[in-house]
Structure 1
Amino acid sequence: MPDASPASRGSSWQSVVGALTSADPRENEPTTPMGLQFEVRELSPRTHDRWRGPTAKTATDAEADPTTRPPRRLGVRPVIRAASGSYVKANVTWGSFAHQLNRLNLDPEHHRWFAQFAALHRATREGLTPPETDWLNLDDFASPLLWQLLAEGERRGIELLTSAKGGSVRVLGRASVGLDARLRPGGALQLTPTVAFGTGAGEGAGPAADAPAPTDWPATDTGPIGDHGVYGYARLGERPEIVLAPTAAPLTPGEQGLLGQPTLRIPSAETAQFFDEYYPSLQQGVTITSPDGSLELPEVPPPVLVLTARFRSGDVLQLDWDWVGQRDPAAEKRILATTAVELDAVLVRFPPRIDPLSPSLTLRGVEAAAFAERALPMLDALDGVRVDVIGPRPSYRELDGHPDVTITMVESLKRDWFDLGIVVNMNGYRIPFGPLFKALAKGQKKLLMVNKTYLRLDHPAFDRLRELLEEAGTLDEWETGVRLSKHQVSLWSDFDDLADESIEAESWRAAVAGLRDVESVEPTPLPAGVNGVLRPYQKAGFDWLAFLWRHRLGGVLADDMGLGKTLQTLALIAHARESAATAEPDVASRPFLVVAPTSVVSNWADESARFTPGLTVRPVTATQAKSPTSLSEVARGADVVVTSYTLFRLDFEAYQSLGWAGLVLDEAQFVKNHASKLHARARELDVDFTLAITGTPLENNLMELWSLFDLVAPGLFPSHVRFAEHYQRPIERGIDPRLLTRLRRRIRPFLLRRTKEAVAPELPEKQEQVLHVELAPAHRHLYDTVLQRERQKLFGLIEDLDRNRFIVFRSLTLLRMLSLDATLIDEAHASVPSSKLEVLVENLGEVVAEGHRSLVFSQFTSYLTKVAVRLDAEGIAYEYLDGSTRRRAEVISRFREGDAPVFLISLKAGGFGLTLTEADYVYLLDPWWNPASETQAIDRTHRIGQTHPVNVYRLVASGTIEEKVMALKEHKAKLFDAVLDDDALFSQALTADDIRGLLA
């Protein structure tokens, strides 16, 4: 291993040690010593020049009256020793000396010391007065490290001197400040501030620290050095003397105030006031003695925490805390800690925002009552605490125990509603209804009543009662009492479970007994006017509808498409007409109003002629403004009047003016938007019975479900705002799974849904398959180019989707059309082939050759037109239906009875109201993000009457927005299943995040 010693690196030990012991050659060079010059300075008042602050000058009159002279400060500045041996300023200031080390050849150690002195003063100075250029005031030298710095300066030979010749500056031992109290003849009290220097060895105080005896100094000629020292001065002007010393402990504000003060005389008549009002506080910060024994100083009692409690009208309690007696920080801290612990123990569940130990605090209502009953007696008995009560003290009393809830129900004057009488008793005390429900409405945790009794509302019984009342939508109208709709069947059950005793209204029991369990609805004989035999599930649906009709309860018939919802409804209308003919002649004279999509209006007349030929069904085909026949003439003698949603909205006043036996909303998803004018019209129509028919009661979000029940069962849920808060957002965000169970329980009595798999197992199998279509190279290049352009345009707009919704969806539609055929966006791309059209024609050629018939759906009529042109070229016969088709019934009949193997249908025009069981193949050319729309299209052929297996093909262009739409469609379908089929929870779509996914 190589030698790492100094010798091995070319050095001898002699050279190393010699370097350590040799003198620094700079030590023999002469340098200029520095000194610290002291001067007592007076602050001159500021002049009229508002830009200049107060100035300072040398103080020269040592005998000046301290009560009238200007304030004095002890200033220090750097000086240097001249060649003559005296110290001079020589343009050396605190701001410039740091740059004159070389020019003036200053002693490096002295220079370094002054730099530390200036930095320490600057870092700890707290005064707001601008410092002088030449002088630093020791009065505002906040750091106690000053004394160590002065001791270090003495060791380095830095002289302390005065600005006047012949003066002296001494650092003495510890200084102390006190107050001498003497009783003078006549009973006057004399208070003399005292200052003593050299009362103990000073830390770093130099040789004078060993002075044999303390030196007393007139307090008028003293001042503080920060809060850690004192200075004194004498003989200003000639041979001034300045002394300074640290104190054993930080100076109190009282001790600092004594410095510079003269003797104070208090007349005998005012000595009592001094000892009563000022002495207890003064003696806490100043040592007061009577050296001559002329005065016996009183003992000050220990500190007491005093609470002044002022009771005011309106259950207001003002609390003010203060200390009396001798101030003792340790004792006060102990009393405060004990008081805080005891208050926490008795003020259980006190609002955390309220600090009961705040110096001044106002409590109102139940907080005032709780503090008065629980805290005041405890504080009055606590050591070190006193309670002073001002004003009459109310007799507050808290009720505790288990609240007993009794609920009664009586029929309301308002149709279909019942008034609830809710009585809450606690330990034999009956709680008034009004104040209780007002407190629950405001979310209060406690309730104070007029007789000064109060109770906590955080009991589980009150929590459940508050929750039920919020759901019943009554808390905003607490003064008028609680009202429950007859549709709120399961809600009444929850009230019943909460109550210790409940008394139901007789009519309520009759109305809802069967609704608590749909399976218990009693059978109703099928009316004689029904032609045909109903399937078992259709008969059960009729029984349910008849029960609702009998009790004037609305509902939603939500069977799968193709299970005969129209037949069940016609059977109900026939039953209603027969039963009302004798029992309710006024009802029998009024027809039912059926509102349906325009394309379905004629279907009601056809279905009625087939199944209920005894009913007179009359369609309304034009607005009253254009029709020579008035609506009243159409309705006269009719059993059913069928109109379109458009005509119903446009001529609502005419419909409202007539009396109707009931309202039937077919394809009720048309009124799913509660903010639409159409929904408002349906809500306003004055009828006793409303039935909604739809295979898709919810398509996009839960608010659509609320919209339907707002029409058929008003009062079942609170307002749409509360429904969104209590059901929609928590369920769709998956916050509380229990809410889904509660929602399904609420709607169950009024919604009947059967799937084809459950009730029609005889239906042939339905096979669904996705055909992935690869775009041709030219088509792919064009699509990718347009996609990148639309991405850049849309990503800045998605954040504000509501405002930019039209632009965003226009771009999405553009991409969907481009996925089908390039010519749909620009005929200039006619040379780009449509791969999807090639796949469709190839498939149709095979199934047509095998004798099958097909339905072909698309969202875009422009693409259907291109398909029709291609089918003409291929020699494949077809029928065509879109929203512009004039003779819709003729076209449908031609396909059903003719030989054309293909039916081209726009999804909007043919997605509902059709029965086309003649076809057994379905092609969906472009996927849509609403799964319900696709399902309805498919079920045009997969319904009762179909005898062949149904094959469904979805043509999806690979690597395009269509794949994203498929994923989004599956995502949205799960919300429908969660509410109506299973317990899975998924959020609504189409959000900004969904659109980002479509463009990814």
Structure 2
Amino acid sequence: ARAWPDKPEQAEYLGNAAFHRLFLAPRQLKPLLVVKGSGIDWFSVSADWEQEGLKLTAADLQRLAAATSRFVKLPDAGWVELDTLAVQDAHEAMADLGVDELSAVPQKIGLEQAAHLDESGLKRFADSPEAKVLRQKLANFEGIPTVALPQSIKADLRPYQKDGFDFLCHLTEMRLGGILADDMGLGKTLQTLSWLAWLKGRNGRRPKPALVICPASVLHNWRREAERFTPHLDVLVLQSGAARHNLRKQIPRHDLIVTNYALLRRDLEDLQKFPFSAVILDEAQFIKNPTAQVTQSVKQLPADQRLALTGTPLENRLMDLWSITDFIQPGYLGTQEHFSQTYEPRAEGPDAVDAQRIARRRLSAKLRPLLLRRLKQQVAKDLPDRIEIRRDCELGEAQRKLYLAELRRSREQVLQTVAEKGLAKSKIHVLAALTRLRQICCHPQLVGNDSLSGKTDTLFELLEPLLEEGQKVLIFSQFVQMLRLLETECRTRQISTHMLTGETKERQVVVQNFQEDGNAAVFLLSLRAAGTGLNLTNASYVVLYDPWWNPAVEAQAIDRSHRIGQTRTVNAYRLIAPGTVEEKIWELQQRKAQAIADVLGEEGFAKSLSQTDLEYLFAED
């Protein structure tokens, strides 16, 4: 074919029918995309391959469906030349609809799959009465139906959150699983709880419970959010400890069951005995490995519907997405082998880039009915200036043992001191004991113990996706030694790190270095040293590693980022170890907010304590 244009002009050329068709009277074969018919919410489309005098068999059409090269040998018709530009254009058009090939067999497609097509997109289809009907339907198509929010929901959903709720309800009506892949901090939990409230009302008097599987760090967040936004839902939390074995008997009497990924592997056989209305995976990237035990376990849970929540549906490779999709809608993307061949083509040469681009478009369109993702910048107008989120940090096993031993020792010592001197004269002893317990919650190394820290692990779980996005993060702690431990760990992980404490001499230079750092970076800040006088508006994420005695000081820390000049929503995370003095101090803060509003630091906190508060802080529960 390359030499043919250079042939001698004077010679006479003879050949068989195929040679004649390819070279003597060349006619390129090209596909015609045809709308074949439509229904209320669907239409069908196929690729017609026609060339005068050429009869194509079913085997020929099947071979053409995936063909992209210029010359193709068909099983029955022999060699043909394709109009490669027309073929590529047709592949792109079908990819936009989520169709894998240029099939001659009509492919049925949901109307929402074509809702994004503009006039140039519609022109790719042959003009026909059916195509005109499709144009009219698309003009009248209003998208996913809106659903009235249940009156039992105690929250005002932002516009994009209401859209997310409608999307989840639509999935239920279509009997599909789904992936809610909104950016971190956009309220996936609230949208899901609203949907579960609707699901309970829809399923009548005997609704099945729903099961949420999440990381241990957000286990109790689900309970708290449900109590706040959907208090009519009865929530049962199954956490580590022997008590959960008896609690499982109560599953049918609750609306929402919450457990974590680590326990699921142990409890799978028991959980399989219960029918669930929905199984919901929070932080669904936990099942990104198709062969992992946790992935195999979640697929064995019986449920009417499956939902995955994740801010990072694609972490390292496309197969992550296959694994999550195969959980929510088994078989939807085919086998792993089919997925790799279709969406990760190994094409080489000049056509490779186009093949990969079309494959990505095809995958994006294929997932459109099941996946909803909104980025912060897309919904910025609906967001508040500041979002504050509590993140629970479970202590490691050795860390918890150390904590409990210190709690018992401190309790005995503090209560004896109070009995002898009275509460007013014992505040130094009380604060010293509380500080030591809080240090253990931060990291056992702060009290000279070599155990690992569950809180530090949770921090880096939180940081990983933020840094991958290129974000800058402020991390506050009141313990300078803790900041140094974090600095060492950040350096080990090759994270760009800056630090400011009371010992820092050139404060403004350090701040400027952070502000001008072109990489994703972490700024470690001492709560006392950096609480005032700094403006760090190029970071929109703040982590309070350990809770301070007074909420006003924490608010000042968050304000380092949330200042005039900040154009993005500030997301502030409070890391709290549940079941420890950290959580109890936080709860007392909520109750006594007014009492200590005008007094900063530990002195104000200590002055506000009663004997009952003291008993509560040092209780072993």
TM-score by length of 1: 0.35
- 2:203 match: secondary structure: helix
Cα distance in 2 for partners of 1:724, 1:685 equals 26
1:594 equivalent in alignment to 2:222? no
**Which residue does 2:406 correspond to in 1?**
none
Q: Which residue of 1 aligns with 2:125?
A: 499
The change in CA–CA distance for 1:908 and 1:417 in structure 2 (over 3 A counts) is farther
Residues 818-857 of structure 1: pairs in structure 2 closer than 5 A: none
Match of 1:263 in 2: none
Q: Give the whole-Å Cα distance in 2 for the aligned partners of 1:647 and 1:346.
A: 77
Residues 354-753 of structure 1: pairs in structure 2 closer than 5 A: 369-371=17-19, 403-408=31-36, 422-427=47-52, 431-441=56-66, 445-446=71-72, 455-465=80-90, 489=113, 498-500=124-126, 521-581=144-204, 589-621=207-239, 629=246, 633-652=249-268, 654-656=270-272, 658-683=274-299, 685=301, 687=303, 689-712=305-328, 720=336, 750-753=371-374
Deviations 1:445-464 (A, max 9, x none): 345575x6975334544344
**For the residues of structure 1 that align with 2:494 and 2:381, how far apart are their CA atoms?**
26
**Max radius of gyration: which structure?**
1
Q: CA deviation at 1:671?
A: 1.5
Cα 1:443–1:608 shift into 2, 3 Å: same
Specify whether residues 669 and 948 from structure 1 end up closer, same or farther in structure 2 by C-alpha distance, changes over 3 A only: farther
Q: What is the DSSP-based 3-state SS (H/G/I as helix, E as strand, rest coil) of the residue aligned with 1:341?
A: coil
Structure 2 CA distance for partners of 1:727 and 1:936, relative to 1, 3 Å = farther
The C-alpha deviation readout for 1:602-658, integer Å capped at 9, x for no partner, is 33223212221111222334699x975595x44324322222223333444554554
Amino acid at match of 1:668: A
3-state SS, counterpart of residue 571 of structure 1: helix
- Offset from partner CA, 1:849-908 (integer Å, 9 cap, x none): xxxx9xx99xxx9993223449xxxxxxxxx9943xxxxxxxxxxxxxxxxxxxxx3233
| Residue 407 to residue 555, structure 1, CA distance change in 2 (3 Å) | same
Amino acid at match of 1:864: H
Offset of residue 372 of structure 1: 6.3
Q: 8 Å contact 1:409–1:418 — kept in the other structure?
A: yes
* Higher helix proportion (structure 1 or 2): 2
Separation of aligned partners in 1, 2:315 and 2:59: 42
> Shift of the alpha carbon at 1:468?
7.0
Aligned residues of 1:561 and 1:695 also touching (Cα < 8 A): yes
Aligned to 1:921: 476
Counterpart contact for 1:490–1:746, Cα < 8 Å: no
CA-CA distance at 1:722 after TM superposition: 6.3
Within 1, Cα distance between the matches of 2:386 and 2:559?
13
Q: Deviations over 1:141-188 (max 9, x none)?
A: xxxxxxxxxxxxxxxxxxxxxxxxxxxxxxxxxxxxxxxxxxxxxxxx
Counterpart in the other structure of 1:341: 8
Specify the code of the residue in structure 2 equivalent to 1:438: R
SS at 1:642 equivalent: strand
Contact 1:346 1:374 survives alignment (8 Å):
no
| Alpha-carbon contact 1:765-1:950 (below 8 Å) kept | no
Alpha-carbon distance change, 654 to 345 in structure 1, aligned in 2, over 3 angstroms: farther
Matched residues in 2 for 1:676 and 1:644: separation?
A: 16
| Cα-to-partner distance string for 1:531-580 (whole Å, 9 max, x where unaligned) | 23334443343333333333334433334434432122101100121133
Unaligned runs of 5+ residues in structure 2 are 390-434, 464-473, 478-482, 496-519, 524-538, 547-551, 562-621
The separation in 1 between residues aligned to 2:145 and 2:22, in whole angstroms, is: 60
- The amino acid that maps onto 1:538 is Q
Q: How big is the shift at 1:527? A: 0.7
The aligned amino acid for 2:476 is Y
2:505 is matched with none
Change over 3 Å in CA distance of 1:634–1:949 after alignment to 2: same
Cα gap change, 1:536 to 1:610, in 2 (>3 Å)? same
Measure how far apart 1:725 and its partner are: 6.5
Shift of 1:695: 2.9
Distance 1:662 1:489 in 2: 25
Contact preservation (8 Å) 2:111, 2:138: no
Conserved? CA contact 2:43–2:111, under 8 Å: no
Distance 1:758 1:373, change over 3 A: closer
Specify whether residues 727 and 439 from structure 1 end up closer, same or farther in structure 2 by C-alpha distance, changes over 3 A only: closer
| Structure-2 separation of matches of 1:555 and 1:933 | 34
State the alpha-carbon separation in 2 of the partners of residues 882 and 729 from structure 1.
43
Change (3 A) 1:667 1:604: same
When residues 370 and 470 of structure 1 are mapped into structure 2, their CA distance, relative to the original with a 3 A threshold, is: farther
Q: Using the TM superposition, give the Cα deviation of residue 589 of structure 1 relative to its aligned residue in structure 2, in angstroms.
A: 3.1
Between the two structures, name the one with larger relative contact order (CA 8 Å, sep ≥ 6).
Answer: 2
User: 2:376: which partner in 1?
Assistant: 755
- Indicate conservation of the 8 Å contact 2:95/2:363, yes or no: no
Residue number in structure 2 paired with 1:221: none
Distance 1:939 1:608, change over 3 A: same
The number of residue pairs the alignment matches comes to: 430
1:907–1:937 contact (8 Å) kept in structure 2: no
1:939–1:343: structure 2 CA closer, same or farther, 3 Å change rule? farther
Say which SS state the counterpart of residue 545 (structure 1) adopts.
helix
Describe the SS at the equivalent of 1:692: strand
Q: Assess, with a 3 A threshold, how the Cα gap between structure 1 residues 580 and 715 changes in structure 2: closer, same or farther.
A: same
Change (3 A) 1:448 1:747: closer
The question of whether the paired residues in 2 share the 8 Å contact of 1:554 and 1:712 is answered with: yes
Q: Which position in structure 2 is the counterpart of 1:777?
A: none
Aligned residue identity for 2:558: V
Change over 3 Å in CA distance of 1:764–1:561 after alignment to 2? closer
Q: 1:683 to 1:443 in 2, by over 3 A?
A: farther
Structure 1 residues 498 and 513: CA distance shift in structure 2, 3 A: closer
What amino acid does structure 2 have at the position aligned with 1:404? L
CA distances 1:296-354 after superposition (whole Å, capped 9, x unpaired): xxxxxxxxxxxxxxxxxxxxxxxxxxxxxxxxxxxxxxxxx99953699979xxxxxxx
1:603 partner SS: helix
| CA distance 1:424–1:677, shift in 2 (3 Å) | farther
Give the residue type in structure 2 aligned to 1:500.
A
CA distance in 1, matches of 2:291, 2:67: 28
Kindly indicate whether the alpha-carbon contact (under 8 Å) linking 2:45 and 2:107 is maintained by their aligned counterparts in 1: yes
Residue 473 to residue 659, structure 1, CA distance change in 2 (3 Å):
farther
Which residue does the alignment assign to 1:864?
443
The secondary structure found in structure 1 opposite 2:276 is coil
Indicate how the Cα distance of structure 1 residues 685 and 457 shifts in structure 2: closer, same or farther if over 3 A, else same. farther
SS of 1:526 mapped into structure 2: coil
Task: For 2:174 and 2:184, locate their aligned partners in 1 and report how far apart those are by CA, in whole Å.
Answer: 27
2:8 alignment partner, SS class: helix
Q: Equivalences for 1:101-116 in 2 at 5 Å?
A: none
1:950 aligns with 2:575: no
Give 1:112's aligned residue.
none
Matched residue SS, 1:561: coil
CA contact (8 A) 2:278 2:304 kept: yes
State percent identity of aligned pairs. Answer: 28
